[in-house]
Amino acid sequence: MNSEGRLKNAREQLIIALDLPRADAAIDLARILAGDVSFFKIGLQLYTAAGPEIVRAIAATGARIFLDLKLHDIPNTVAKAVTAAAELKVAMLTIHLSGGSRMVEAAVAAAPPELLLLGVTVLTSSDEATLLETGINRPVAEQALRLAQLGAHAGIRGLVASPHEVVALRQALPAGMSIVTPGVRPSWAAADDQKRFTTPREAIQNGADYLVIGRPVTAHADPREAVRVIVSEVAGS
């Protein structure tokens, strides 16, 4: 593949997290990056502040939407939330695999084929001490794999996992499983609250399909330049 093709692939693998407190700031940033980014993530903070209208506003820039709400409730409630998200025409939606197989199966049954439902394994802000606080006495990697296998058995087609677990997940799970990795930080960016992270290039080499990057872009003095540097790094150019 030539350099232009690698850059195109890298742009399509990049998801910019619009983890901002106000709709106007998120829309302004999405418009600035619209020519360089094809995917935006709307998380709990922004969705709580601005509601479904923010999904429609960001989608109006021409980008695809990853709605990161990490649903975790009784099966019927989660299924109805999946249906509501699908009506917004989002491309991706997250649920917590720790909700158990019945919840995951209900969510999968409610999701139309065009919606990629992503099961969250272990948050990248968590470590063994975090798991132990909640009564889970096993390594993070082992817990992530256990939840990923639960999700695969329940019909999930995509996962959210730390880039550190991607290699093991690829080896243990069915081919075709999409893996989205948060916890990605360019070498020049601060770690912030992430405990398990890699560079964008390392995450792709480990087998990630998509990279979620927020503050290294959203807090940068020149967000477009930050995206271009990251895309170049992922493409290896």
Q: What is the 3-state secondary structure (H, E, C) of the chain?
A: CCHHHHHHHHHHHEEEECCCCCHHHHHHHHHHHCCCCCEEEEEHHHHHHHCHHHHHHHHCCCCEEEEEEEECCCHHHHHHHHHHHHHCCCCEEEEEHHHCHHHHHHHHHHCCCCCEEEEECCCCCCCHHHHHHCCCCCCHHHHHHHHHHHHHHCCCCEEECCHHHHHHHHHHCCCCCEEEECCECCCCCCCCCCCCCECHHHHHHHCCCEEEECHHHHCCCCHHHHHHHHHHHHHCC
Catalytic residues, which ones?
A: 70
